[in-house]
Chains A and B, each alone.
Chain A
Amino acid sequence: MLSRREMLFNMGGGIGGVALAGMLQTDGLLASETGPGWGARMSVLHHPPKAKRVVQMFMGGAASHLDLFDHKPFLEKNHGKKSDFGEHVEAFQNGLGPWMKSPFKFRRYGKSGKMLSDVVAPLGDCVDDMAFIHNMVGKTGVHSQATYLQATGFQQPGFPGMGCWISYGLGSLNQNLPTFVVLPDRRGFASNGPKNWDAAFLPQQHQGTIIRPGAQNPIADLFPSGSKFATRTADRKALDVLKELNRKHQSQNPGDSRLEARIKSYELAARMQLSAPQALDVAKEPKHVLEMYGLNHGKRSYSKQINAVEEIDYFSMKCLVARRLLERGVRFVQIWSGNDNGFPRRNWDSHEDIRRDHGPLAMGMATGAAALIKDLKQRGMLEDTIILWTTEFGRMPSTQGSKGRDHNPYVFTNFLAGGGIKGGVTHGPSDEWGYKPLDRANPTTVYDVHATILHQLGINHEKLTVRHNGIDRRLTDVHGHLIKPILA
């Protein structure tokens, strides 16, 4: 144990050292069934956990609660009538037109009788495993800040993503793959790009690692590319020689565990080269599984317009890859839907036309999400895997133009499933228009969601802190309450 502590100090006691300390622990100390994993900051959990893994689905551009999950009969009755919020509303653009009902029909599902819109109908099979929170509130209607807030708990850049904190606190469940994996939208990054999963002041290894299934290098620099001399054989031999020379150097410079750590890091890298491609090879998935994910239609080309088939293909594939990664011990997977604000619009920011953009995006998302929930459930993994569906903010119950909706930071929806979350629950209603929480004094915030997820993982959100520039930072800043009604 001395050498571990020594090393912490060698690193100047900095957090880099602490996390590195974990890296060396390859023996039985780690990765126990219920304790923290390999490379963890925490030596024991704060309380017994209900969950070990997390999947976060993030809808870039702000998905409309009113057109997916939060049914509003009031809008159906008053569609087209002049909107009246009973107070002054500061709209982001000019979206204070007449009341607008959803262009999609809502139907009842499951024992709980949850109303879902037709574009998320595939989730109908899962509603009794899901908990909806309809009174989420944000702080801003600006995409960038809102995305930061939901992803990192802070509105400004410079703070670690939720996955980074969980990687930092709990470490890894495997030694061959990154702890925190990000599956970005194929069309590009959402607002803020990689800053949403940046380690910021946490050590680099807790940053989300981008995986692009199907790419030649699904992880950056996993294999040498475009080089004539870096062949597989040369690689292997180079690693052998490197190890031999590094070992010699180490024996001449005893007592510095970082030298050992660096030698180990090359062994880990080699292991990742073997396991990552296996984890991403979905070809061997049985037919019924591909069918469940909607990936069996055999189509190869898509229409130029945004369309459901293409959305299903891409989003569902990420969900399937997520399951394979979770099975192999990846702790946190973040799946993105929607890119930044370019034209034509390929995200959820439907200022112009809810039906055109939300329709296909939602169908893709719901198909993948439903398949993932069912798949995990069949494998007995849903009980210790939390799924969180979130977005930047909601959209207004009034129209923008004639078919779009403006930003609504005053209320939106999240859903959670698995990992000890109670199924078939709808928590915290929004008001009859879906404009603000029904009980304005008691909304739910991102801090509450983060606190609840950490709690399920065995972490007290107030205790997982890192001192940075004079402040003990935590994921939930100085806020956060458990959302008890959604816990099983």
Chain B
Amino acid sequence: MYVMMAGLCLGGSLVLGESKSAGINHFHRHVKPILERNCVQCHGEGTTKGKLALDSEQGVVAGLKAGVLSAKDGSESALIEAVKGPNPDMPKDSKPLSAAQVAELEKWIAAGAPWPKGAKLVDKRLADQKFWSLMPIRKPAVPKMEGRWGKWVKNPVDAFVAKRLLEQRLTPSGRADKRTLIRRLYFDLIGLPPSPEQAEQFLKDQSKDAFEKVVDKLLASPRYGERWARHWLDVVHYADTHGYDKDKLRPNAYPYRDYVIRSFNSDKRYDRFVQEQIAGDTLFPGTPEGVVAQGFIAAGPWDFIGHVEVPESKIDGKVARSLDRDDMVVNVFQSFMSTTVQCARCHNHKFDPISQEHYYNLHANFAAVDRAPRRYDADQATLAKRKKLMSQKTGLEAKRVLLAKKVDALKTPEMKALEKQIASLATPKKGVSPSNGYHSAFSNKAEVVKWVQIDLGRVVRIDEIRVFPARPTDWKDTPGFGYPVRFKIEVSNDVGFKKAKMIADRTKADVVNPRNLVPKFKVNGIDGRYVRVTATKLWLRDRRNYALALGEMQVYGSGELLSAGRGVTALDTIDSGRWNVKHLVDGFTSRMPIAAQFKANASMAELRSKLKKLSETVLPESVRVQQQATEREIDRVEKALGELPAQGVVYTATVHRGSGAFRGRAGLGPRPIHFLHRGDVTKPGKLVVPGVPPLVPGEPVAFNLAKGHGEGDRRAALARWVTHKRNPLTWRSIVNRVWLYHFGRGIVDSPNDFGRMGQRPTHPDLLDFLAIGFRDGGQSIKKLHKLIVMSATYQQASTMDTHRAKLDSGNRFLWRMNRRRLDAESIRDATLVLAGKMNFKMYGPAFRDFVLEKPQHSPHYEYHKHDPNDVTTHRRSIYRFLVRSQQQPFMTTLDCADPSMSVPKRNQTLTSLQALALMNNRFMLAMCEHMAKRLRGAHRDLAEQIELGYRLALSRGPTADELKVMVGFAKKHGLENTCRVLLNLNEFVFVD
């Protein structure tokens, strides 16, 4: 019996063994390719959909155990059921397997799903780099065009275009007329129409390089950067608020916007432009650009509640922070490399060689930073001085500690006891006083007059006035806070102090700050109703902020306190938090009730003098002298720091040091980044390292960083990798973007996606020619513009042609120029220019074309309450304050970019709401009025006024017919309505 059993078993395993090796061969030849191409993307380690893993022995054994891979009772296994038939459930979202493939899988399962020991399958798509955008960029030969074609070709761009046209049996259109060209070029390069004079000058200029001269002039104009920075800000989804719920303002976002404008205007090398935005603080330390440019990382939306109200330890807090990093990672890849890494958040990228792990490697590069305001010095010299002073300060403070230790060692027990007593008296008793006192508004100079006064309610005899310096509890402990450097005290019977009696005049010389003492001013029986303290030289609070502040004021008369709870008025006041005018007479100093303050002061003074006496006998003089000298030095350094030019603040990516729920990572190092199964923060997998996907040939996926590297080193490595010469995407991406803005269509018309889901280049050789020329030829965007606009391709007419349209209705091969609708900014800016109202002031805080309400909680942005005649808003649209949650309705109707997402290409819709906006919006109506005024101011004759209107709006005069119609209309309905018609013309709204 026993023997038989053993024999059977032996035989059994023998048979199995044989079939197993055949099964393994079958697996390698037939099954593995099917699984690697179709299944392991979702059914693999880390991404196990339906709990089935088909990439490892372990997974398959589990699948067998669970019964998914085995047939039961003659029916099909769950796996086969899922893939078989005309409409199978699997593979999800892609082509069904062929019948032959299904048969191979059936055979494999019938054999018991054999698996080669230790074999691990990989997603084959991830290794597939044979795709146009991932191939190395090679310099293509410029096609040689001959005959008529040769004549048409003006530069290499045309040669590539001509070759494609010829292949498609298409011919190019003729050159556009000069009036069309100048209008096209102006809107294209600077986003504004040419003035009638500029247009006229070009039309008259018969020289060969007339066009080139205009091109050079426009590229050198500061208006150019304002136009092209807007394109870039669309891509990086920049705005001046956070977005999400409680869409709070980001008043310090604009330095990044200004940085982009300056970068375009100065034609910054592109690699530098990219590197500054990803890791400027690390790669270019000490430069203001290095800090400001990182506004790029912070440009997108930020979930205020998810960060500020929910800590990182909670699930919602984790989700918020993970999505926040996602936005940073995506912004880099979408903007610079036209790559959709975001698809790999929950699973391997379905189409491009980016695994889910690569995606989380990218998270690790941003693991330490948050979006937050950061200070920076405006120039290197200041930064150097600040650094020097700060290091001096650190040294002096160390010296102070050292001396204190020395002194400590010499102190007698009696001295120590005294010190303890003093400290306990001087220690602010938190919450004892409900208020700090009165605080004026800030001034940026000391020599400014500020006053605060008490109304005693009636004329009354005054004997004494006591002035308590402030010492706020919500500020670093500063006795004597806010006490004026020069001041006077007066009493008057009239509220305006037209006639006043001087009580104390301290305006002639600086006074010594009384710190914890309470100056008393004896009056001895003067009658009056109002008591006023007027500061003529203010106290320096910090840097350049000066103010007057007082903890409390008391007026006594006939032994009575007269001032308690009386009315207080002031020239100005900050009235916020613990500061308020009424706190000047509330019976509390900044720290305690007044009675307690007196007691404390009295006993403290006594203790201090005791201590002083003791120290003079115990401590050697040399030590005391050193101590005093150190204190003087510290004062000097602090003063010098205060006198440096104020630092700027920019909303940027920074290692944040915060409190409450939004703590940031200062002092903590980068957050540990885990692989997240299905992108779910509650399902963290292994820790991942900083790195990148395998998109640059020869470059490793994991960054080679030293142990203990700084967080910025990760971003620096990323920046270097993005701008790597062999990066096949970066250079193609930028030249394609520039091309798109010139033609309204990219060579690759999915400018944010060069992957398999994106479009293919219509002119692959041209794209590579431009990319290599750009990369190796100085990386000048201005040079690229010039190459493009000087081409015959760009200068073609936009005229339609039915024959050629039949062959290429979408004009993909550029047999003509595309007619384009003006974008929202160009319409608004041109309207301001036509109305004669444009103010070309550059840079600085954004103008707000809304009224802000309820900013404390959830700000309301009330556009309809804004006055369109508010001149502060008559600036170029790039300086507009961009609100994420409530976009400006007029601009939105005109397809303005939505800053909640990257917009690589604007829509060009034509809707009835747009017609209503251009006809009736209050901005348009106001500008029609100004434009009419301008026309009237220029000419007396109505026909001439209308002629000028045409030249302004369309860069041409009206035809006789048009003039007749418009004059007739203007006579009846006025010049304002005539301007309204002009600004609504198709010819105004489209550029040929």
Q: Given the complex, which residues of B lie within 8 Å of A198, measured CB to CB?
A: 887, 898, 900
List 15 A-B residue pairs with CB atoms under 8 Å apart, sorted by A's residue number.
Answer: A12-B745, A14-B908, A142-B310, A178-B913, A225-B922, A229-B977, A248-B961, A255-B801, A258-B821, A265-B914, A269-B916, A272-B912, A469-B902, A471-B340, A471-B343
Residues in chain A near residue B928, CB distance under 8 A: 229
If A204-B909, A246-B985, A262-B910 touch, whether A157 touches B301 (CB-CB below 8 Å) is yes
Indicate whether A413 reaches chain B with its CB closer than 8 angstroms. no
**Contact pick for A14, options B310, B907, B929, B962, CB 8 Å:** B907
Interface string of A1-40 (1 = CB under 8 A from B): 0100110111111111001100100000000000000000
Does B267 sit at the interface, judged by CB under 8 A?
no
B911 and A205 contact, CB distance less than 8 A: yes
A43 on interface, CB distance cutoff 8 Å = no
Give the contacts of B875-893 with A (CB-CB under 8 A).
884-887, 889-890, 892-893
Determine the chain A residues whose CB is within 8 A of the CB of B901 once the complex forms.
157-158, 200-201
Q: How far, in whole Å, are A272 and B914 apart by their CA atoms in the complex?
A: 12
- Give A237-282 interface residues, CB cut-off 8 Å to B: 237-239, 241-242, 244-246, 248-250, 253-256, 258-259, 261-263, 265-266, 268-269, 272-273
Cβ–Cβ contact B303 & A235, under 8 A? no
- Known contacts: A145-B306, A229-B974, A256-B819. The answer to whether A193 contacts B886 by CB under 8 A is yes
Q: Which of B799, B886, B910 contacts A189 (CB 8 A)?
A: B886
Q: Are A23 and B316 in touch, CB under 8 angstroms?
A: no
Write out the residue numbers on chain A whose beta carbons fall within 8 Å of the beta carbon of B23: none
Cβ–Cβ contact B244 & A266, under 8 A: no
The residues of B that contact A235 with a CB separation of less than 8 Å are 919
How many angstroms between the C-alpha atoms of A23 and B752 in the bound complex? 28
**Inside 8 A of A5's CB, which chain B residues have their CB?**
809
Contact A204 B974 (CB under 8 A): no
Q: What's the nearest-Cβ distance from chain B to residue A93, in Å?
A: 9
Contact A342 B858, beta carbon cutoff 8 Å: yes
Given contacts A156-B323, A193-B886, 17 further A-B contacts (CB under 8 A): A9-B811, A11-B908, A140-B316, A142-B303, A158-B901, A192-B885, A194-B886, A194-B887, A195-B243, A201-B901, A220-B889, A227-B925, A230-B920, A241-B981, A254-B800, A262-B910, A341-B857
Question: Smallest distance from the beta carbon of B733 to chain A beta carbons, Å?
Answer: 13
- A43 and B853 CA atoms in complex are apart in Å by 45
* A383-417 vs B, Cβ < 8 Å mask (1 yes, 0 no): 00000000000000000000000000000000000
Q: A469, B752: Cβ atoms under 8 Å?
A: yes
In the bound complex, do residue A9 and residue B800 qualify as a contact, i.e. CB atoms below 8 Å apart? Answer: no
Q: How far is the CB of B823 from chain A (nearest CB, A)?
A: 12
Q: Determine whether the beta carbon of A268 is less than 8 Å from that of B912.
A: yes
Residues of B within 8 A of A188 (CB): 858, 860
Which residues in chain A, 291-335, are within 8 Å of chain B measured between CB atoms?
none
- A471 pairs with B757, CB closer than 8 A: yes
Does B986 sit within 8 A of A, measured CB to CB?
Answer: yes
> CA of A90 to CA of B319 in the docked complex: distance in angstroms?
14
Q: A90 — which chain B residues lie within 8 A by C-beta? A: 314-316
The 3 closest A-B pairs by CB, nearest first: A9-B810, A255-B800, A144-B245
Question: Given A6-B805, A142-B306, A195-B884, do A220 and B917 touch, yes or no (CB 8 Å)?
Answer: yes
The answer to whether A145 and B303 touch (CB under 8 A), given A242-B985, A262-B989, is yes
For residue B971, give the distance in angstroms from its CB to the closest CB of chain A. 11
**Distance, CA A222 to CA B821, complexed state (A):** 22
Residue A203 interfacial (CB < 8 Å): yes
B744 at the interface (CB under 8 A from A): yes
A223 on the B face (CB < 8 A) = yes
B809: chain A residues within 8 A (beta carbon): 2, 5-6, 9-10
Of the candidates B898, B925, B969, B987, the one whose C-beta lies within 8 Å of that of A230 is B925
A472 surroundings in chain B (CB, below 8 A): 757
Query: Is B659 interfacial (CB 8 A cutoff)?
Result: no
Chain A neighbourhood of B977, CB < 8 A:
229-230, 234, 237-238
B920 in contact with A224 (CB, 8 Å)? yes
Complex-state Cα separation, A225 to B315, whole angstroms = 49
Q: Is A214 close to B, CB under 8 A?
A: no
- Asked whether, in the complex, the Cβ of B981 is within 8 Å of the Cβ of A204, the reply is no
Distance to closest chain A CB from B344 (angstroms): 11
* B916 adjacent to A158 (CB under 8 Å): no
A194 & B340 in contact (Cβ 8 Å cutoff): no
Contact partner, A195, options B750, B799, B900, B910, Cβ 8 Å: B900
CA distance A356 to B654 in the complex (A): 44
Once the chains are docked, how many angstroms separate the CA of A348 from the CA of B735? 51
How far, in whole Å, are A248 and B916 apart by their CA atoms in the complex? Answer: 22
Q: Mark B679-693, 1 if CB is under 8 A from A, else 0.
A: 000000000000000
- Per-residue CB contact flags for chain A residues 183-208 toward chain B (1 = under 8 Å, else 0) read 00000110111110010110111010
Query: Is B767 part of the contact surface with A, judged by Cβ < 8 Å?
Result: no
Q: How far is the CA of A225 from the CA of B819 in the complex (A)?
A: 33
Whether a CB of chain A sits under 8 angstroms from the CB of B976 is yes
Question: In this complex, which of B342, B750, B920 has the most chain A Cβ atoms within 10 angstroms of its Cβ?
Answer: B920
Q: Would you give the shortest CB distance from A344 to chain B, in whole angstroms?
A: 12
B residues 269-328 touching A (CB-CB < 8 Å): 301, 303, 305-306, 310, 314-316, 319-320, 323
Any A CB within 8 A of the CB of B458: no
Name the interface size band of chain A. 35 or more
B755 is contacted by which of A222, A233, A470 (Cβ under 8 Å)?
A470
What's the nearest-Cβ distance from chain B to residue A209, in Å?
Answer: 7
Nearest chain A CB to B168's CB is how many angstroms away?
Answer: 14
Q: Which positions 134-164 of chain B face chain A at CB distance < 8 Å?
A: none
- Complex interface residues of chain B between 243 and 276 (CB less than 8 A to chain A): 243-247
A161 within 8 A of B: no
Given contacts A142-B310, A144-B303, whether A341 and B246 have CB atoms under 8 Å apart is: yes
Q: Give the Cβ gap from A154 to chain B, nearest Cβ, in Å.
A: 11
Cα–Cα distance between A201 and B750 once the two chains are bound (Å): 13
Beta-carbon contact of B985 and A249 below 8 Å: yes
Do residues A469 and B898 form an inter-chain contact, with CB atoms below 8 A?
Answer: no
Contact A244 B965 (CB under 8 A): yes
Min Cβ gap B974→A in Å is 5
In the complex the two chains form, what is the Cα distance from A10 to B901 in whole Å?
Answer: 25
Question: Can you name the residue of chain B whose Cβ is closest to the Cβ of A254?
Answer: B800
- Known interface pairs A15-B907, A193-B885; A265-B986 also in contact (CB < 8 Å): no
- Tell me, yes or no, whether B758 is within 8 Å of chain A by CB: yes
**Nearest A residue (CB) for B340:** A470
Q: A14 to B910: give the CA distance in the assembly, Å.
A: 13
Docked-complex contact B909 and A19, CB < 8 angstroms: yes
In the complex, residue of chain A having the shortest beta-carbon distance to the beta carbon of B315: A90
Interface mask (B790-828 → A, CB under 8 Å = 1, otherwise 0)? 000000000111100100011110000011010000000
Candidates B750, B864, B973; contact of A237 at CB < 8 Å: B973
Determine the distance from Cα of A194 to Cα of B883 in the docked complex, in whole angstroms: 11
B909 touches A262 (CB 8 A): no
Q: How far is the CA of A249 from the CA of B974 in the complex (A)?
A: 23
Bound-state CA distance A248–B969 (Å) is 17
Distance between Cα atoms of A486 and B954 in the complex (Å): 60
Task: Determine whether A143 belongs to the interface, using a CB cutoff of 8 Å to chain B.
Answer: yes
Quick check: is B921 within 8 A (CB to CB) of the other chain? yes
A340 at interface, CB cutoff 8 A:
yes
**How many angstroms from the CA of A232 to the CA of B800 in the assembled complex?**
37
Q: Are B857 and A242 in contact (CB under 8 A)?
A: no
Contacting residues of chain B (942-989) with chain A, CB-CB under 8 angstroms:
961-962, 965-966, 969, 972-974, 976-977, 980-981, 984-987, 989
B749 CB to nearest A CB, Å: 6
For residue A478, give the distance in angstroms from its CB to the closest CB of chain B: 8
Is the Cβ of A245 less than 8 Å from the Cβ of B910? Answer: no
- Would you call A340 and B245 a contact (CB within 8 A)? yes
Q: Is A141 an interface position by the 8 A CB rule? A: yes
| B909 and A141 contact, CB distance less than 8 A | no
Closest Cβ of chain A to B104, distance in Å, is 28
CA distance A254 to B819 in the complex (A): 12
- Bound-state CA distance A14–B802 (Å) is 21
Known A-B contacts A241-B966, A258-B910; A13 and B799 likewise in contact (beta carbons under 8 Å): no
Across the interface, which residues of B come within 8 angstroms of A144, CB to CB? 244-246, 303, 305-306
Determine if A237 and B969 form an interchain contact, defined as CB atoms under 8 angstroms apart: yes
Q: Is B334 an interface residue (CB 8 A)?
A: yes
